[in-house]
Structure 1
Amino acid sequence: MEKNRKYLWGLMSFFVGLCSCAGSEEGARYEQLYRSDWGGGIDSRLVIQAPQGAISVVENPVQHRSMLKVVVHRSDDFSGVANGTPRGEIAFAKIFRYSLGKTYDVNWSTLIPDDYRFDSLQPELFSQILQGKNAGLGSPPFSIRFVDGKYEVEIRNARDAKANVFTFGNPQADKGKLVRWRLLYRPDSTGRDAVTDLYMNDIKVVHCSGCGNAYENDNDAYFKIGIYKWWWKTRPSDVNVRSLYFGDVDVKSY
């Protein structure tokens, strides 16, 4: 009996040590890629794609901490902005790019103003991963947007590929509240090694198992936050101004 107890105790100790070792190895692979602090201003490495004065740092109206504020008007001149398309975005392309085979843990937050009016006639995107130039044109492999009074995520692996679409939440009810986002993302066009898990206020709202979530052989995709309203100048819309707040961004890779 005593011999059996010693054997079981030794076996348990072995597995405890094994788990601790695995945790330590995971920690050793951890790399902090970026951590913003809007209170210190806008990092000079960030690429601003917006009309003059559309992006600024202001005090968070809820928590009284610094946030990024994006304001664009339908009447703005977007001719000097990326592709001449209505947007007010910040790109992280000069800070990090998504490499195949790595897992990325991206955390940020949004705040919808109390007076925000949702467009009932067309969507608008507020966070995305955009494919690199060598991957060609097309819709982003990952994006979060407002559509028909809901949050909507699209995930795809090619320009003409049918997107995997996830709809959830109630943005109207989130007005005036800080919404925390966390994206666990490992790019893979085939889907075999892909990870696309999105959390909203610590609740998983998207899990796309086996979904191709990147353009083929693309190691240059990058993260963007802001407002992107691609049909604003060409299709009917019932809003003339867009304004959103964005909290600090934290990015790690494994």
Structure 2
Amino acid sequence: MSGIPVHRWKFIFLLGSIFSLASAQDLGVIWTDPQMTALASTYDLLFSATWADGIGAGIGVQANPGNIAVVDDPLVAGRKAIRVHMSKAEDFSKIANGVPRAELIFPKAVSFSQGPDYLVRWSTFIPAGFAFDTKQALIITQVHQGEWTGGPTIALSLQGNRYAVSERGGGDARIVSAGKWLCCADADEGKWVNWALRYVADDSGHHASTQLWKDGHSVFASQGVANAYMGVQDAYLKMGLYKAGWTTSPSDVTDITLFFGPVSVSKK
């Protein structure tokens, strides 16, 4: 975050508040760091989904009917993917908090407690011609903070033609403890992008560690910074589209479509 003015971090709109700052669709990742290849092999798999058999019964859905569907992979014949779509004109009043969203909630079997070392892998596909919104953010993956209200513990977002990652923890849900802009999302149109998150949660920050890889390249890392809310032992994974200010604030887009590939969560 060095060199980035504080006002540049007011880029993610969540729960009615602006944040204020204090290639192949594959479950595997081709790591650029050989040591990470060895490390990844030490985790035990907790959960995985390739969508070949649809959305499993243990996965929750927060979306209007038809907004989330299993479809053919847009690139690879014989594979399946999750297509997520939202329109600004929809009625979101019957969805959680009435906030514009179309998200999958992953089972409590893969919830994140403080202390263990987790490795989450997933993939995203931005279709060609995707309309990027320069006026407000779109969260596409998050570690949700259990029963706490406020911003997600970890969030991967799109704003304009960039990705952004943000991290929160400790006792103040309003404060982003770490974050970074990632260039350039528009270069990823029409191809699968593989993500990997290593997450060791700690509300004090003393033993906290967060690392994010994009297509095997390290793009974000923080250590010694609170990355869990006080006492939370049941944070959980969400993927899809979340755009809190869409119907109440200026936006460049009226429709959004994104695809998600395989997901896995491992622990050691």
TM-score by length of 1: 0.86
- Correspondence for 1:209: 223
- Correspondence for 2:210: 196
CA contact (8 A) 1:105 1:182 kept: yes
Unaligned runs of 5+ in 2: 1-37
Code of the residue aligned with 2:222 in structure 1: it is C
Count of aligned positions: 227
Pairs within 5 Å for 1:3-42? 27=42, 30-42=43-55
Deviations 1:48-70 (A, max 9, x none): 00111100011111123210000
Tell me the distance in 1 between the aligned counterparts of 2:174 and 2:189: 34
Runs of 4+ in 1 over 6 A off after TM superposition: none
- Correspondence for 1:153: 165
Helix, strand or coil for the counterpart of 1:83?
Answer: helix
1:152 deviation in Å? Answer: 0.4
1:37 deviation in Å? Answer: 2.2
Deviations 1:122-181 (A, max 9, x none): 111100001011xx2110110000123211001011312243121112111100010000
Point out the structure with max Rg over C-alpha.
1
Tell me the distance in 2 between the aligned counterparts of 1:100 and 1:120: 35
- Correspondence for 1:143: 155
Tell me the distance in 2 between the aligned counterparts of 1:89 and 1:237: 20
Tell me the distance in 2 between the aligned counterparts of 1:95 and 1:84: 27
Choose the corresponding residue for 2:248, options 229, 234, 240.
234
CA contact (8 A) 1:45 1:95 kept: no
Tell me the distance in 2 between the aligned counterparts of 1:235 and 1:31: 43
Tell me the distance in 2 between the aligned counterparts of 1:77 and 1:71: 14
Pairs within 5 Å for 1:172-187? 172-187=186-201
- Correspondence for 1:8: none
Unaligned runs of 5+ in 1: 1-22
Alignment RMSD? 1.5
- Correspondence for 2:137: 123
TM-score by length of 2: 0.82
Choose the corresponding residue for 1:111, options 112, 121, 125.
125
Tell me the distance in 2 between the aligned counterparts of 1:234 and 1:164: 27
Percent sequence identity over aligned pairs: 36
Code of the residue aligned with 1:79 in structure 2: it is S
